[in-house]
Structure 1
Amino acid sequence: MLNKSTFILLSCLLLSSISVLAQSDKQKALEAKRLKFQQELKQLNSLLFSDQKKEKSVVSLIEDLSYKVNVRRNLIKVTNDQANLLTREINANQNEISSLRKQLSTLKEEYSQMIVKSYKSKSEQSRVMFLLSSEDFKQAYKRLQYIKQYTDFQKEQGDLIKGKTLKLQELNTDLIRQKKDKDQLVAENRITQKELEKELKEQEKLMGSIRSNLSSYSSKIKKTQQEIDRIDAEIERIIKEAIAESNRKAGKSTTSKGFALTPKAEIIAKNFASNKGKLPWPVERGVVKVRYGTQRSPIDPTVQIKSNGVRIATEKNAQVKAVFEGEVSKVILIKNSNPIVMLRHGNYITIYRNLSKVYIKQGDKVNRNQVIGAVFTDSGGESMLAFSIYKDSKPENPASWIYKM
């Protein structure tokens, strides 16, 4: 049986351990985010801000810089969150250290008094006399039990002191590490903040250079969006034709909104769906410059940019890979546009746009990670792959499907 003091100590240690583990999990999650943003900044500098990109248009430079500023702001925020969490952990540890020191002092005082008392009556003769002076066997047995319990209690008190001393040492070690980690995070954030200030000044300078003729730049952005919308409409028309054809072959209504699947196609579709969030990137190195959905233009916030997929900035002549096994449904050649590859995976379709080279043809079977083409690089040195995922004729957010996108 545990005495009250031991029970309280174990309860406190258990609650403390649970709290430390919870905070540790939060720190690990924040650290993973911080490393992700740091890696993204490295990729941005390499892919969007290298010396080879000096011929870029002002619009592209502003777009790239706006993206970089957002990533750096995210890095500053997550680093601040880490530092604040460390501050709370440091305060909690300092409070626990103070409490433990008081408990330890009390325990040592009680233990000292117990040892003195025990020493005064420790002789074997005293214990024997204590037992022999019993009035009957029952009393002698109780006195024997008392001697044993007193000895056990002394040992428990010694173990309590040892446990609290070790806990105190661990907390002091953690405190030193936490303060060092916090100082490092604060120092890193100062550097990051200075970089952000430089980038914001550069962004303002670039915006100043186009502000006098903003309407002209806005018109160009709208025209580009119209061209993207035209290609999107053509892709959706082709997908709907493929759906109608699959239903015609299966003897079903051609007005159906979903593919008619063969047993083999059903298996591929199920396998594709089971890999949601785990599919590989379609390029080896890249950053998502334009995300899925509708967003404001960094040049003119009144202009909206719509994206049925993601646009990935990558390196020159980057090889494009199939994200899953499937069949080449079509290689699309649209006027005033670079080649587009459409791969079918049951009732799912992946689309790879803005290619300079295509290594496969319609009807080919492709494997996961098979190279199917190369990304086109424009005159400004920008290599951008537009990547989309459709379920039947409805576009889905690729970030929900691609690993860590």
Structure 2
Amino acid sequence: MNRFLYVLFFSLCTILSFAQPSDKQKQLEEQKAQIQKEIASFRALLNTEKKKEKSVLAEIAEQKARIRLSERLISTTAKQKRLLEDDIYLTQLQINKLNRELKVLKDDYAKMIVKSYKSRNDQSRIMFVLSSQNFLQAYKRIQYMKQYAGFRKMQGDEIQEKQETLSVAKTKLESSKAQKEKVLKESEEEKALLVNQKAEQEKLVKSIQKDKKKYMADISKKQKESNAIDKEIKKIIAEAIAAANKKNAAKTGTKSSGSAKFDLTPEGKIVAANFKANKGKLPWPVEKGYVYSRFGVHPHPVYSNLKIENSGVEIATEPGSVARAVFEGEVFQIQVMKGTNRKILYIQHGDFITIYQNLESVIVREGDKVTTKQNLGRIQTDASGKAVLKFLVMQNVTTLNPEDWLYNM
């Protein structure tokens, strides 16, 4: 019985290990699908922008974004390849082990069948029982013959189970090998594209070297404008925190803490906890698009001594596209940029705030409750035909990296 349970447990574990796909492999597939979706959006946007006049700096930024996508795709396929190679190696070891065990089982079973054949005569079985010295011995011999027959059946079942497991393993091995070939082909194709993209970028970079001072001045100006907007955003949030805390203090009859953080109500704490629990799972603030500029401090793609600081993530999308809420919350501010028609939308999620910058129009109002993926407003389209949404995530007045919060970014 113990042997039977062991065999059953081993067989089930082996079958499950072959049947269930690797979680890591599945995760890499999802990441690759997202990158390929971004690349498709890039190509679609590139086709719509061909007839539009673009600056060289905008073209370089686009090439930089495309190169980054290619490098991410190559890196992901390389990880897939390593996982598949490990999987192929372990599966082959398992097949070898199963073949050895199957051979032993078949040899044992063959010997048992031969022995059984020699003693197949019913008379010899009866004589075996009748020759017993007493009733107890006769009973034990009958039980032995039953157990012997049962053991033969169990061995036959074990051989069949191992053959089925072996068949599953061989199918899995062939599938992994085919998948590895596919991944290798995709990687080689993307590497060839990357070489071409880098060559094109070098040409564009050379074309603006003669006007270096002019371009550097333009870049510095835009960076100052961006920094000024970031400063204004933090000021607005700080004022909103002070007003909210003062209002809560008046309701409860307590003194305002004067803290730079929201004094959350029990309901606000639940919303904040739910938002935090969805870190890395939030939907993108646009339906389609690609990352045009990443979060953080980066060297400029042309002038490496010039640093570009981005407080959020910029996502390029199709003209006419709308921004959508990444999580349920409440609209607490709609800011109109001075001297422009551009708007910035602030949505509160407890002590977390998501900010949608560069909106042409807004279809929600202050105080509105919004749901996940609800449309918020149309993104402004620039002269080149590109709509770029700048998306920020903040906790109180602390700027967070949106790429850590959005799914597969």
Normalised-by-shorter TM-score class = 0.7 to 0.9
Match of 1:275 in 2: 275
**How far, CA to CA, are the matches of 2:246 and 2:37 in structure 1?**
49
Provide the secondary structure at the position in 1 that maps to 2:399. strand
Q: CA deviation at 1:124?
A: 1.5
Q: CA deviation at 1:333?
A: 2.9
Q: CA deviation at 1:226?
A: 0.9
Provide the secondary structure at the position in 2 that maps to 1:275. helix
1:391 to 357, 372, 395: 395
Q: Once structures 1 and 2 are overlaid, which stretch shifts more, 239-248 or 164-173?
A: 239-248
8 Å Cα contact 2:245/2:263 also seen in 1 = yes
Q: Which amino acid aligns with 2:110?
A: S
Q: CA deviation at 1:9?
A: 4.1
Q: CA deviation at 1:156?
A: 1.9
Q: Verify: 1:35 aligned to 2:33, yes or no.
A: yes
Provide the secondary structure at the position in 1 that maps to 2:149. helix
Q: CA deviation at 1:271?
A: 2.4
Q: CA deviation at 1:229?
A: 0.5
Q: CA deviation at 1:8?
A: 5.8
The residue correspondences of 1:361-372 to structure 2 (distance < 5 A) are 363=366, 365-368=368-371, 369-372=373-376
2:242 to 219, 241, 244: 244
2:324 to 321, 326, 336: 321
Q: CA deviation at 1:39?
A: 1.3
Provide the secondary structure at the position in 1 that maps to 2:335. strand
What's the CA shift string for 1:231-288, capped at 9, x where partnerless?
1112222222333333444454484313456x5xx63563254134355443332223
Q: Which amino acid aligns with 2:323?
A: V
Provide the secondary structure at the position in 1 that maps to 2:319. coil
Q: How many residues end up aligned between the 2 structures? A: 399
Q: CA deviation at 1:345?
A: 4.8
Q: Verify: 1:379 aligned to 2:383, yes or no.
A: yes
Q: Give the direction of change, closer, same or farther, for the CA distance of 1:174–1:241 in structure 2 (3 Å limit).
A: closer
Match of 1:25 in 2: 23
What's the CA shift string for 1:114-160, capped at 9, x where partnerless?
21221111111111111111222232223222222221221122112
Match of 1:104 in 2: 102
Q: Once structures 1 and 2 are overlaid, which stretch shifts more, 104-113 or 37-46?
A: 104-113
Match of 2:311 in 1: 308
Match of 1:144 in 2: 142
Match of 1:225 in 2: 223
Provide the secondary structure at the position in 2 that maps to 1:354. strand
Q: Verify: 1:133 aligned to 2:136, yes or no.
A: no
Provide the secondary structure at the position in 2 that maps to 1:33. helix
Match of 2:74 in 1: 76
Q: Give the direction of change, closer, same or farther, for the CA distance of 1:392–1:183 in structure 2 (3 Å limit).
A: closer
Provide the secondary structure at the position in 2 that maps to 1:283. coil
The residue correspondences of 1:135-174 to structure 2 (distance < 5 A) are 135-174=133-172
Q: CA deviation at 1:225?
A: 0.9
8 Å Cα contact 2:322/2:375 also seen in 1 = yes
8 Å Cα contact 2:295/2:401 also seen in 1 = yes
Q: Which amino acid aligns with 1:396?
A: L
Q: CA deviation at 1:228?
A: 0.4
Q: Give the direction of change, closer, same or farther, for the CA distance of 1:37–1:157 in structure 2 (3 Å limit).
A: same
What's the CA shift string for 1:319-342, capped at 9, x where partnerless?
233443423424333246733233
TM-score in terms of structure 1 length: 0.87
Q: Give the direction of change, closer, same or farther, for the CA distance of 1:119–1:373 in structure 2 (3 Å limit).
A: closer
What's the CA shift string for 1:347-384, capped at 9, x where partnerless?
443332222234455x4525335544322222222211
Q: Which amino acid aligns with 1:228?
A: S
Q: Which amino acid aligns with 1:229?
A: N
Unmatched segments (≥5 aa) in structure 1 = none
Match of 1:293 in 2: 296
**How far, CA to CA, are the matches of 2:245 and 2:312 in structure 1?**
26
Provide the secondary structure at the position in 2 that maps to 1:349. strand
What's the CA shift string for 1:299-337, capped at 9, x where partnerless?
223222222222221111222334434234243332467
Amino-acid identity (%): 38
8 Å Cα contact 1:329/1:344 also seen in 2 = no
The residue correspondences of 1:195-214 to structure 2 (distance < 5 A) are 195-214=193-212
